[in-house]
Chains A and B, each alone.
Chain A
Amino acid sequence: MTADMRRSPGPSPADPRVVGGLDYSIDHHVPGAWHLRLVRSDVAAGRVVDIDTTGVESDVTIITPADVAAYGTFGCQIADQRVLAAEPKFAGDPVVAVVAPTPEAAREAAASIQLDYDEAHGVFNEFEAATASAPLVHTSHASASGDAAYFAMRPLDGTNVCHRFRIRTPELRGYDEPELIRELPPLDDATMSDAFAGSDIVVEETFRTPAAAHVPMEPHATTAQWVDGRLEVITGTQTPFNLRQDLAALFGLDPADVRVVAPAMGGSFGAKTFMRTEAITAVAAAFTGKPVRCVLDRDEVFSEVTRHASTVWMRMGATREGRFVAKQMVAYVNTGAYADCGPGVAQKLGYAGVGPYRFDHVAVDSYCTYTNLPPAGAFRGYGAMQSAWASERLVDMLAGELHIDPVELRRMNLLRDGDAFCTGEIMHDTHFEELLDDAAKAVAWNDGRDGKGVAIILKGMQTPSRAEVAIHALPDGRFEVRSATADMGQGAPEALTRMAADVLGVPPEHIVVPPPDTDLAPYDTRTTSSRSTHMMSRALAAAADDLRANGTVGHGRIVNDGGLDPDTGTGVASSHWHQGAAAAHVDVDDETGIIDVRSLYATSYAGRVVHRAAAELQNEGSMIMSLGTALFEELTYVDGQLVNPNLSEYNIASALDGATIHHRLLETPGAEVHGLGETAVPPVPPALGNAVASLGYHPCRLPMTPERVLASRVHPRQEAP
């Protein structure tokens, strides 16, 4: 890292993002493109028995489920989705596509089509979906074969569980256990009684998180066209190579015959990952022989993909002195109608819920369950938030029982270099104690604890994973960096520019970074899990070495091996750990339940910072997003129908809500570049929850609305005379 890079300010006034000059996916207009609208199911479960298209003008192309029956199923981890649904599985499932010369004509045609259904009973809650009497959303489970299915799936046939992830530390293995835990096991359960035998105090609780929306400012926008037998797709996506692979499989093409171009996205937060509107748009282009454009309306974005609602039941045991002995967790993760990357979320939620602590024994069962809600997928924080909410609230409950200070109790049990995590991997480069102390200091922990709370988390990076990058020396003396790292507002091109300039020893003005194009850029796993700056920093160093050795083109390739056994949780969960802490100081109005956030602080381990302004914005953005999660964001469904698909009824945090946040990037000179795109997401809700709990409440359910806060009061308020 050179001094110049460290001093650099944020985006310059001429930055195209600042002056409105950046072409997002939605701005890419291919001449002659027709327009796609989807007719969506009104029912959450059932079968379409009639499609009445008599009101549709003759120049409109109508595509029905029967028209696309020849196409197979797709899905990044489980192949459970069809291009159009004859048997819709959530309210909003696309049933019919119409393609017309103008957006208005497409909208009019879609509105005139009438669907008739044979409606069926649906199931909506993740815990109820796992019961024996629940209707089955899918009757079979077919694992996907693409790169995104990076671990063995463990579907439980005859149930709504499409994946079960387990952790059993060595002494808890070999017991005869039910495949699916449908009732929370009692403490004298045979398997666990030994695990908790050494505990003087055991605490347990159930914690809930609802579905939530990503709310990218730019909706999903895709244009597809067929050019000389090749499929070309321009779309906002974090996963260009996964998408190329899945589209190729759907159309029976060689992946090289699919081109995915990913212009900058106006926000994503996980919403634009894997196959979204690209499949039907490409099919529509094939049907019409024209370029086809599909842009979702805001209400459609709310149901395109969501965050996993979850029910997490957790038990912890400790000695009287405060040493953690055992943890047991059973989580039900609501993946909605289609699995998407839900199995991966269930896995990451599973190990993140153990937290950055040493335990003698750990047992985790994390079930990814289908329901008749919109599909849930990647969401900033990726499951770690839902389980950290449970884990870090429970640590404070335990501290209360033990009469030990919550910060001290954490400190006694934190993972340090050389300790084994529950997966068996040995921890390295740990900074938990420093983060914890920093968070506690930020709220003056030692000056009284009323209204204060802390939380500390670990979060994994996508493992295994592979990053490749090519540096081309241009004739004019500049260098072009070809990478599939997508720009979703996090400033990927700027980070790539700075890192490339650094390894090549040239000024940043000599670096050119075009948007991801699978025809030009080499393979990269995807732009998720805060992996890209970390992985690309290493790939770029290798590419620069190669360029120096080989002349005009340098190629860098970094592979991180690892992965977890789905039945024992053994292996390498993450080659690189995201480590973060948060602290909150709140007042609670005991008559209205309103939480007044006096101060909210997050501290994230950053290693070596590449671009200070962007890194700070990532940390702040994570906090603001998670503040909404903690206090008010919730997708509300009534019988499977979303009742708040707009921004007046689904509030996100405003500038005023974020007025009291402050934060820190914990740096180590010369260290590796660390991902930090979401590190501050998971610790914020439990830090706020613990702060609220310190005032005599027991919040277990997100968001902590004033009404729920009042209902969670531990000691009933004395009525005024």
Chain B
Amino acid sequence: MSWHMPTTVDEVLRLKASKPDATVVAGGTFLGLVIRQGLLDSDEWISLQNVDELRAFGTAGDLSAGAMVTHRRIETEPAVRRDWPGVAEAFGVVASPRVRNVATIGGVLADADYASDPPAMLVASRAVAEVASVRGMRRVPIEELIVGHYETELDDDEIITRVLVPRPTGSAAYRKLRTRSREDRPAVSVAAVRETGGVRVVVGAVSDRPRHYPDICAEWRPGDEQSTREVAAAYADRIPCLDDGRGSAEYRRQVVSVEVRRALMQVSR
């Protein structure tokens, strides 16, 4: 087994190109669990821990967070709380401070776990990932990055280097429904972000990836209770919900319609 500790992005990309099967470790909170459970093993590991440029952080234009920026930073940074309150909220309700102190924005997107909080809000916020390899850099909307259970669009030689979140033009709500402990992942999560001319509603944690239906969102009339209920019911109908220890598919379907309605009411104001 080898453990690589590169210090620059270039070095990481060269390593990843030469060892496409190597597992990239960011904060380690997700990998730690799946390794302990025997679900993942690897001969080659590339740690991003010493790559300082991946911790770059800016809020001057878009919110710009290097892949190694922690949940805790995004949760607590005053500019994020002021200008991207929905994003700060979604990162701030993950697990416990112990986890948020090490879990990273790049990690939570790359692991593509259906039950994580941030992806739904990042999709709703039109966030984009910068994805790099020795072949160059490309920008992938988060909506297209996560394609299924633990599955992303990343090629074997690529890593996420940075996430950009445009400045919101309207209000945002993040609703997390927990059915077990207060440190649990969501059984249902709803991110709703208002923008000029509409709203983006994204439901997380109930199926293989965050679910966003622009055609349903287009039917919403802000403040109108009837259309709010219809949008909520349409989301519940459309999403193929799954069963797990946090709730049955039937329960999730029922709660999706409740929580989408409540999220839309929150952003109506």
Q: Which residues of A contact B (CB under 8 A)?
A: 298-299, 591-592, 594, 628, 631-632, 636, 643-644, 646, 648-649, 651-654, 656-657, 705-707, 710, 720
Whether A594 lies near B177 (C-beta < 8 A) is yes
17 contacts between A and B (CB under 8 A): A298-B36, A592-B177, A592-B258, A594-B177, A594-B179, A628-B181, A632-B179, A636-B245, A649-B245, A653-B181, A656-B181, A656-B183, A705-B179, A706-B247, A707-B251, A710-B251, A710-B254
Chain A residues with CB under 8 Å of B229's CB are: 720
Chain A residues with CB under 8 Å of B248's CB are: 707
Chain A residues with CB under 8 Å of B184's CB are: 651
Whether B181 lies near A651 (C-beta < 8 A) is yes
**Which listed residue (A652, A653, A706) contacts B251, Cβ 8 A?**
A706
Whether B183 lies near A654 (C-beta < 8 A) is yes
User: Shortest beta-carbon distance, B102 to chain A, in Å?
Assistant: 15
Convert B167-182 into 0s and 1s, putting 1 for each residue whose CB lies closer than 8 angstroms to a CB of A: 0000000000111111
Tell yes or no: B33 within 8 A of A by CB: yes
Contacting A at CB under 8 A, from B184-239, are 184-185, 229
**Which listed residue (A298, A656, A705) contacts B182, Cβ 8 A?**
A656
- Which residue of the partner chain B has the closest CB to A591? B258
Tell yes or no: B96 within 8 A of A by CB: yes
User: Shortest beta-carbon distance, B65 to chain A, in Å?
Assistant: 25
A410 to B142, alpha carbons, bound, how many Å?
Answer: 59
Chain A residues with CB under 8 Å of B185's CB are: 648
Q: A628-B181, A705-B179, A706-B179 are in contact. Are A646 and B255 (CB under 8 A)?
A: no
Whether A657 lies near B182 (C-beta < 8 A) is yes
Q: A654-B183, A656-B182 are in contact. Are A646 and B37 (CB under 8 A)?
A: yes
A710 to B255, alpha carbons, bound, how many Å?
Answer: 11
- Which residue of the partner chain B has the closest CB to A648? B33
Whether B181 lies near A657 (C-beta < 8 A) is yes
Contacting A at CB under 8 A, from B27-54, are 33, 36-37
A707 to B96, alpha carbons, bound, how many Å?
Answer: 24
A649 to B181, alpha carbons, bound, how many Å?
Answer: 11
Contacting A at CB under 8 A, from B74-130, are 96
Whether A654 lies near B247 (C-beta < 8 A) is no
User: Shortest beta-carbon distance, A353 to chain B, in Å?
Assistant: 28
User: Shortest beta-carbon distance, B176 to chain A, in Å?
Assistant: 11
Chain A residues with CB under 8 Å of B96's CB are: 654
- Which residue of the partner chain A has the closest CB to B184? A651
- Find the residue from A298, A299, A651 having the highest chain B CB count within 10 A: A651
A713 to B258, alpha carbons, bound, how many Å?
Answer: 17
**Which listed residue (B36, B245, B255) contacts A644, Cβ 8 A?**
B245
Chain B residues with CB under 8 Å of A706's CB are: 179, 247, 251
- Which residue of the partner chain B has the closest CB to A632? B180
Whether A707 lies near B247 (C-beta < 8 A) is yes
A652 to B180, alpha carbons, bound, how many Å?
Answer: 8
How many residues of chain B are within 8 Å of chain A by beta carbon?
22
User: Shortest beta-carbon distance, A425 to chain B, in Å?
Assistant: 40
Chain A residues with CB under 8 Å of B182's CB are: 654, 656-657
Chain A residues with CB under 8 Å of B177's CB are: 592, 594
Chain B residues with CB under 8 Å of A648's CB are: 33, 185
**Which listed residue (A592, A646, A652) contacts B33, Cβ 8 A?**
A646
Chain A residues with CB under 8 Å of B36's CB are: 298, 646
Chain B residues with CB under 8 Å of A707's CB are: 179, 247-248, 251
Known: A298-B36, A705-B247, A707-B248. 17 other contacts (CB 8 A): A591-B255, A592-B259, A594-B179, A644-B245, A646-B36, A651-B180, A651-B183, A653-B181, A654-B96, A654-B182, A656-B181, A656-B183, A657-B181, A657-B182, A705-B180, A707-B247, A720-B229
Chain A residues with CB under 8 Å of B181's CB are: 628, 632, 651-654, 656-657
Q: A648-B33, A651-B184 are in contact. Are A643 and B179 (CB under 8 A)?
A: no
User: Shortest beta-carbon distance, B14 to chain A, in Å?
Assistant: 31
Chain B residues with CB under 8 Å of A705's CB are: 179-180, 247
User: Shortest beta-carbon distance, B163 to chain A, in Å?
Assistant: 24
- Which residue of the partner chain B has the closest CB to A634? B245
A594 to B181, alpha carbons, bound, how many Å?
Answer: 11
**Which listed residue (A592, A628, A632, A656) contacts B255, Cβ 8 A?**
A592
Chain B residues with CB under 8 Å of A652's CB are: 181
User: Shortest beta-carbon distance, A297 to chain B, in Å?
Assistant: 8
User: Shortest beta-carbon distance, A685 to chain B, in Å?
Assistant: 15
- Which residue of the partner chain A has the closest CB to B115? A648
Convert B229-269 into 0s and 1s, putting 1 for each residue whose CB lies closer than 8 angstroms to a CB of A: 10000000000000001011001001100110000000000
- Which residue of the partner chain A has the closest CB to B248? A707
- Which residue of the partner chain A has the closest CB to B183? A654
User: Shortest beta-carbon distance, B116 to chain A, in Å?
Assistant: 12
Chain A residues with CB under 8 Å of B33's CB are: 646, 648
- Find the residue from B179, B180, B183 having the highest chain A CB count within 10 A: B180
Chain A residues with CB under 8 Å of B255's CB are: 591-592
A651 to B187, alpha carbons, bound, how many Å?
Answer: 13
- Which residue of the partner chain B has the closest CB to A628? B181
- Which residue of the partner chain A has the closest CB to B257? A591
Chain B residues with CB under 8 Å of A710's CB are: 251, 254
User: Shortest beta-carbon distance, B179 to chain A, in Å?
Assistant: 5
Chain B residues with CB under 8 Å of A592's CB are: 177, 255, 258-259
- Which residue of the partner chain B has the closest CB to A636? B245
- Which residue of the partner chain A has the closest CB to B244? A649
User: Shortest beta-carbon distance, B230 to chain A, in Å?
Assistant: 13
A632 to B185, alpha carbons, bound, how many Å?
Answer: 13
A649 to B247, alpha carbons, bound, how many Å?
Answer: 12
- Which residue of the partner chain B has the closest CB to A299? B37
Chain B residues with CB under 8 Å of A298's CB are: 36
A705 to B181, alpha carbons, bound, how many Å?
Answer: 11
Chain B residues with CB under 8 Å of A631's CB are: 180
- Which residue of the partner chain B has the closest CB to A659? B182
A628 to B179, alpha carbons, bound, how many Å?
Answer: 12
User: Shortest beta-carbon distance, B178 to chain A, in Å?
Assistant: 8
A362 to B176, alpha carbons, bound, how many Å?
Answer: 48
- Which residue of the partner chain B has the closest CB to A297? B36
Contacting A at CB under 8 A, from B4-38, are 33, 36-37
User: Shortest beta-carbon distance, B150 to chain A, in Å?
Assistant: 14
A215 to B5, alpha carbons, bound, how many Å?
Answer: 35
- Find the residue from B181, B248, B254, B255 having the highest chain A CB count within 10 A: B181
User: Shortest beta-carbon distance, B129 to chain A, in Å?
Assistant: 25
- Which residue of the partner chain B has the closest CB to A720? B229
Chain A residues with CB under 8 Å of B258's CB are: 591-592
User: Shortest beta-carbon distance, A31 to chain B, in Å?
Assistant: 28
A632 to B181, alpha carbons, bound, how many Å?
Answer: 7
A592 to B259, alpha carbons, bound, how many Å?
Answer: 9
User: Shortest beta-carbon distance, A606 to chain B, in Å?
Assistant: 29
A646 to B181, alpha carbons, bound, how many Å?
Answer: 14
A60 to B102, alpha carbons, bound, how many Å?
Answer: 39
A651 to B246, alpha carbons, bound, how many Å?
Answer: 10
- Find the residue from B182, B185, B248 having the highest chain A CB count within 10 A: B182
Chain A residues with CB under 8 Å of B245's CB are: 636, 643-644, 649
A652 to B229, alpha carbons, bound, how many Å?
Answer: 35
User: Shortest beta-carbon distance, B127 to chain A, in Å?
Assistant: 25
- Which residue of the partner chain A has the closest CB to B178? A594
A705 to B248, alpha carbons, bound, how many Å?
Answer: 11
- Which residue of the partner chain A has the closest CB to B258? A591
A644 to B180, alpha carbons, bound, how many Å?
Answer: 13
- Find the residue from A646, A648, A705, A720 having the highest chain B CB count within 10 A: A648
8 interchain residue pairs of minimum CB distance: A656-B182, A632-B180, A651-B181, A651-B180, A654-B183, A591-B258, A707-B251, A654-B181
